[in-house]
Chains A and B, each alone.
Chain A
Amino acid sequence: MKKLEYDSTPTPLKTSLMMYATRLGVILSNFSIIIMLIYFSSLITILINLVVILLALTVILVSFGFIFLVVPNFIDYLSFGSEFSGYMMEFLNKISPVAIPLTIFFSIAAFILLSFDKYKPHTGRKIISGMVCVGTIVILIVLIMQFKGGGV
């Protein structure tokens, strides 16, 4: 294949800054999405645990309790999942005073930084950042209500 002609133009300062701002915006948006996903996955873990408990109850009922003869430590297996989700919730509760405001800040900063891009509109990412911001605020409200109600 024939090589194309040599050409190299330095990018001006203003354009460089705009490109760097866009890149930082994408990185911050990715961070906020990941933190949000971790919070939602912890919610999913609780739901999965509920399903597992329901399944276990069904097994116990269907086998008329004979499952305990075959697997004597059947209950221990079940408690492992709930213990894990308990640890997860505890950890998330510990880090939430830092993680939640950080996520809100990241998503807002990402939205602002992505608006500087003159070339690409980044519409999808801006919408996702907005959704992450709203979702995190909802989590924050739930946690504040739990805290005020003396919940978990």
Chain B
Amino acid sequence: MKEVEIKIKNSFIMYPTIEIDGKIRKLKKNEFGSLVYRTTTENDVMDVKIYKFLEINGVGWFFAYMFFYIISIFGILQPKYDRKCIVIDCHYKIKLEEKNDITITLNKISEDNAATTIETSCEYEELSNRYSVDHRAKLKLKIMSIAKIFIAIAMIALLILLVDKVIIGN
């Protein structure tokens, strides 16, 4: 059995999804704020993926956005959407030894730098390692900001109609 300890440093930069051997893992924080995953395996290679999902790319995003916009009183009571739409795409294949200490540090968001830096004594293959902008998500947010105006007008019109029928009508 091979012992593996994976540390993810600076995860607060992105709050990414971490997938190890094809499964999304919930990593525990240690006293220094790094995310830690410990396991034992008989596999020779470990697949580590770090990526970021955006809420605006979610299932039924248009209806979800509208629903939350209306119930949060025209967006006043809801948290803001991530307008930068920056995503991380990082994929490592690590050849395992008997004892494996792997530290992956998330770098500052930049178009020139690699997204992460890996420190390990094991041999590894870097399949992808970059930050990128999700332009489709940005376009969706632009569409929604226009739709918000129409929704606000419709809601105000509805309110006026209700006031007119209920209060003035009586």
Please give the residue numbers on chain A whose beta carbons come within 8 Å of chain B beta carbons, in ascending order.
1-13, 15-17, 19-20, 23-24, 26-27, 30-31, 34, 118-120
Query: Does B77 contact A8, Cβ atoms closer than 8 Å?
Result: no
Q: A8-B134, A11-B54, A27-B78 are in contact. List 11 more A-B contacts (CB 8 A).
A: A3-B133, A5-B132, A8-B57, A9-B53, A16-B58, A16-B60, A20-B58, A23-B79, A24-B68, A30-B72, A119-B16
Tell me how many residue pairs across A and B have CB atoms closer than 8 Å: 81
Query: Does B132 contact A7, Cβ atoms closer than 8 Å?
Result: yes
State the majority secondary structure of interface residues on B: mixed
Count residues of chain B with CB under 8 A from any CB of chain A.
32
A4 in complex: contacting residue of B24, B51, B71, B132, CB < 8 Å = B132
B58 in complex: contacting residue of A3, A19, A24, A31, CB < 8 Å = A19
Show 17 residue pairs from A and B whose CB-CB distance is below 8 angstroms, ordered by the A residue.
A4-B86, A4-B111, A4-B133, A5-B132, A6-B132, A6-B135, A8-B134, A9-B51, A11-B55, A11-B59, A16-B59, A16-B60, A16-B64, A20-B55, A20-B68, A119-B15, A119-B17
Chain A residues with CB under 8 Å of B134's CB are: 7-9
Query: Does B58 contact A15, Cβ atoms closer than 8 Å?
Result: yes
- Given A9-B53, A16-B58, answer yes or no on A27-B89 (Cβ-Cβ < 8 Å): no
